[in-house]
Amino acid sequence: MSFITSLSVFSLHLLLLLVGLFLNPVISDPRGETVAQMCNNRTMTPQQRSLVVTNFLAAMDAVSPLLEAKGYGQVVNGTGNLTVYAYGECMKDLDKKDCDLCFAQIKAKVPRCLPFQQITRGGRVFSDGCYVRYDEYNFFNETLSSQDLTNCSDKEITGVNRTLFRDNAEELVKFMSVEAVRHGGFYAGFVDRHNVTAHGLAQCWEPLTRGGCAECLTNASEQIDSCLGKEEGRALNAGCYMRFSTQKFYNNSGNYSTSDGSGGHNHLVVILTVTCSVVAFVLLVCAVCFLYRKTRAKKQRENKQLGSLLMLANKSNLCFSYENLEKATDYFSDKNKLGQGGSGSVFKGVLRNGKTIAVKRLFFHTKQWVDHFFNEVNLISQIDHKNLVKLLGCSITGPESLLVYEYIANKSLHDYLFVRQDVPPLDWAKRFKILLGTAEGMAYLHEESNLRIIHRDIKLSNILLEHDFTPRIADFGLARLFPGDKTHISTAIAGTRGYMAPEYVVRGKLTEKADVYSFGVLMIEVITRKRNNAFSQDASSIIHTVWSLYGTSNHVQVVDPVLGDNFNKMEASRLLEIGLLCVQAAFEQRPAMSAVVKMMRGNMEIPTPTQPPFLNPESVLEVRKMMSPTDSPMEDQSQSSGWRIDNISESFFEPR
């Protein structure tokens, strides 16, 4: 009878648990923020390096599914001194979804340890929800190492009685170091005395023996003592993790409250024990599985939640899986192709969460640059300006490198001006807005962002337009991504015919002023709606037309005839003058982009421009022989043409 009663009470609890689960579909916190990252700096040769990177990627890829299946995973890949050992584990209070999410976050951080110039053979990342490490030796049951850290918060205790919290935390820490060992290497709970609560969690990594766990946590509890008095402290050891805090940061999704500790531990209220958490976990998993299968509606709901979790993962780290991007772009199908640039082709894609993205498939084999590439992507992705296309992340683990950008709806300025017949011509106000926005974006890249990026390929097709014609500069930062890549730099001496500053073409001298030149060309093109072809036979490029009219009253006759009289003559004249300033042959005299912005806004006087680079017809013929006569961007043919900059005499571009 009493068995039946307790069974029904149990069922009731189960039911309540399930109801609670579905009334309350909270996305919990995966605690994936990095707490500490440690990189080894043992060295190796460049030849070894690329092999180690390959093994590293294989090992990391193999850890994830193990972790998903059982909460931790250890993998060995490679042989001899190229072997990579990899390990990942989640804190045991995280549920499966949070665990996956947490690991996705820190896994993305670990490549930063990989060698670029300095060659490292090991690294660890700790977050409060999970842990990852790779190294060149079998560290799986290592308890302590010289890299272990204690991380104390710098916040002094406020709001509660400091002495009382200190005492409670001290007691908790000692208690945890014993209890976790007794309970399979995990403990989370609190000490609550005199209305002051200290929360804590301790966990040993799975491969450790009981003795190893005790050794590690004893060390941790002693190390963490130095943090008492602060709001929070963490011990980050090779074999274990321990944290105390004024906040309840762990997950005990049930009522496991025991007595107030009148037994062995005075005044100690212990709530979460490992048995309970295992039972709870099993129940949760069963419940989820049960309902997941039972009803389709709920399954969809679950999927939706997963989608938003994925989005969260995508937002919080830069790594996209190759498979997801492949699916998003329908396996890079031609119908999704948006365009072809100097460094790769671009595809439109839709992620599972519905977000539209642009995926750039790079021509370059960048696996050997993986760490550098990742770092740069990370840096560039932090650049955020209203006139720049945001880089969302990359994929480095697949067979080719991919960059993921936000998707801009309205196509490029080039399409707008020269290709599309179905759109009304851009009016003057829009052209002004586009030029000013472009200048602002460039000023940001050159002068305001702490990376000081030279774009190197400013041209009409790299200016994308939003619905309201806000311009967004695409493809910036590529020069940073491939610094040592000789083939890329020299085939292109990137940039596009007609936009390249003479000192850059002739001497390969690349400064911000080369971008300013390109901007000047673009400005004149937008105003006149004529392409600038620096290599046209009669040497009467649009720049020279504008230059020859400069100072005459006919100055504005070059403005796009489609505008008729519907434009501001003063403004047009000013912009043409600024355009000429930007394309001056002497690069020192070209204005900085911030000055261009000021002049465009009328906040700065416009100096008198000097002559643009002038073309000598003989040299033009010579160059024309070397280059194919199409109008498409140079880099598209340069790979096969073997065009060499050195052949062109310097006088070619000097003013007459």
Ligand X SMILES: *[C@@H]1O[C@H](CO)[C@@H](O)[C@H](O)[C@H]1NC(C)=O
Q: Could you say whether residue 397 binds ligand X (CB under 6 A)?
A: no
Report the C-alpha dihedral over residues 451, 454, 455, 457, rounded to 10 degrees.
-160
- Choose between 36 and 627: whose C-beta lies nearer to ligand X: 36
Q: Could you say whether residue 257 binds ligand X (CB under 6 A)?
A: yes
Question: From the CB of 274, what's the least distance to ligand X, in Å?
Answer: 15
Q: Which two tokens stand for residue 156?
A: 């002094």
> Which residues lie closer than 8 Å to 630 by C-beta, 6 or more apart?
637
| Size of site (CB under 6 A) for ligand X | 32
Beta strands of 344-467 (E only): which ranges? 344-350, 356-362, 391-395, 402-406, 463-465
Q: Could you say whether residue 149 binds ligand X (CB under 6 A)?
A: yes
Task: Please identify which residue in 89, 95, 136, 231 interacts with ligand X, judged by CB under 6 A.
Answer: 95
Which residue out of 457, 475, 515, 560 is catalytically annotated? 457
Amino acid letter at 653? F
Question: From the CB of 401, what's the least distance to ligand X, in Å?
Answer: 18
Q: Which two tokens stand for residue 351?
A: 């992620």
Beta strands of 52-162 (E only): which ranges? 72-77, 84-90, 123-127, 130-135, 149-152
Q: What is the 3-state secondary structure (H, E, C) of 468-479?
A: CCCEEECCCCHH
Q: Could you say whether residue 209 binds ligand X (CB under 6 A)?
A: yes
Q: How many other C-beta atoms lie within 10 A of the C-beta of residue 418?
A: 14
Question: From the CB of 348, what's the least distance to ligand X, in Å?
Answer: 31
Question: From the CB of 630, what's the least distance to ligand X, in Å?
Answer: 43
- Choose between 161 and 651: whose C-beta lies nearer to ligand X: 161
Question: From the CB of 29, what's the least distance to ligand X, in Å?
Answer: 7
Beta carbons of 14 and 287 less than 8 angstroms apart: yes
Q: Could you say whether residue 255 binds ligand X (CB under 6 A)?
A: yes
Q: Could you say whether residue 194 binds ligand X (CB under 6 A)?
A: yes
Task: Please identify which residue in 35, 313, 328, 458 interacts with ligand X, judged by CB under 6 A.
Answer: 35
Q: How far, in whole angstroms, is CA 49 from its chain's centroid? A: 24
Task: Please identify which residue in 17, 18, 36, 592 interacts with ligand X, judged by CB under 6 A.
Answer: 36
Beta carbons of 370 and 57 less than 8 angstroms apart: yes
Q: Could you say whether residue 382 binds ligand X (CB under 6 A)?
A: no
Question: CB nearest ligand X: which residue?
Answer: 253
Q: Could you say whether residue 81 binds ligand X (CB under 6 A)?
A: yes
Q: Is 415 a catalytic residue?
A: no
Q: Please tell me the distance from the alpha carbon of residue 571 to that of residue 218, in angstroms, as a whole number.
A: 75
The dihedral built from the CA positions of residue 151, 152, 155 and 161, taken in this order, carries a sign that is positive
Q: Are strands 344-350 and 337-340 parallel, antiparallel or unpaired?
A: antiparallel
> Which residues lie closer than 8 Å to 629 by C-beta, 6 or more apart?
none
Beta strands of 81-174 (E only): which ranges? 84-90, 123-127, 130-135, 149-152
- Choose between 151 and 616: whose C-beta lies nearer to ligand X: 151
Q: Could you say whether residue 161 binds ligand X (CB under 6 A)?
A: yes
- Choose between 80 and 424: whose C-beta lies nearer to ligand X: 80
* Interacting span for ligand X (CB under 6 A) from 159-167, 387-395, 495-503, 591-599: 159-167
* Interacting span for ligand X (CB under 6 A) from 218-226, 394-402, 559-567, 624-632: 218-226
The helix/strand/coil state of 342 is coil
* Interacting span for ligand X (CB under 6 A) from 216-224, 325-333, 585-593, 608-616: 216-224
Question: From the CB of 151, what's the least distance to ligand X, in Å?
Answer: 4
Q: Please tell me the distance from the alpha carbon of residue 384 to that of residue 406, in angstroms, as a whole number.
A: 12
Q: Could you say whether residue 77 binds ligand X (CB under 6 A)?
A: yes
Q: Please tell me the distance from the alpha carbon of residue 17 to that of residue 493, in angstroms, as a whole number.
A: 64
Task: Please identify which residue in 64, 166, 178, 222 interacts with ligand X, judged by CB under 6 A.
Answer: 222
φ and ψ of 634, to 5 deg: -60, -40
Task: Please identify which residue in 6, 10, 42, 267 interacts with ligand X, judged by CB under 6 A.
Answer: 42
Query: What angle is formed at CA 433 by the lines to CA 442 and CA 513, rounded to 5 degrees?
Result: 25
E strand or H helix at 436: helix 428-443
| 360 annotated as a binding-site residue | yes
DSSP state of 24: -
Question: From the CB of 406, what's the least distance to ligand X, in Å?
Answer: 28
- Choose between 73 and 212: whose C-beta lies nearer to ligand X: 212
Q: Could you say whether residue 117 binds ligand X (CB under 6 A)?
A: no
Question: From the CB of 213, what's the least distance to ligand X, in Å?
Answer: 10
Residues between 7 and 26 that touch ligand X (CB under 6 A): 26
The helix/strand/coil state of 359 is strand
Q: Could you say whether residue 212 binds ligand X (CB under 6 A)?
A: yes
**Which residue(s) pair with 87 in the sheet?**
74, 133
Q: Could you say whether residue 44 binds ligand X (CB under 6 A)?
A: yes
Beta carbons of 466 and 409 less than 8 angstroms apart: yes
Question: From the CB of 599, what's the least distance to ligand X, in Å?
Answer: 43
Beta carbons of 443 and 435 less than 8 angstroms apart: no
Q: Could you say whether residue 278 binds ligand X (CB under 6 A)?
A: no
Q: Could you say whether residue 144 binds ligand X (CB under 6 A)?
A: yes
Residues between 337 and 356 that touch ligand X (CB under 6 A): none
Beta carbons of 139 and 42 less than 8 angstroms apart: no
Task: Please identify which residue in 41, 356, 382, 540 interacts with ligand X, judged by CB under 6 A.
Answer: 41
Q: Are strands 232-236 and 196-204 parallel, antiparallel or unpaired?
A: unpaired
Report the b/e string of 627-651 with b at 16+ CB within 10 A: eeeeeebbbbebeeeebeeeebeee
The annotated binding site is made up of 360
Show which residues are catalytic: 457
Binding interface with ligand X (CB under 6 A) = 26, 28, 35-36, 41-42, 44, 58, 77, 80-81, 95, 141, 144, 146, 148-149, 151, 161, 163-164, 194-195, 209, 212, 219, 222-223, 251, 253, 255, 257
Q: Which residues are annotated as a binding site for ATP?
A: 360
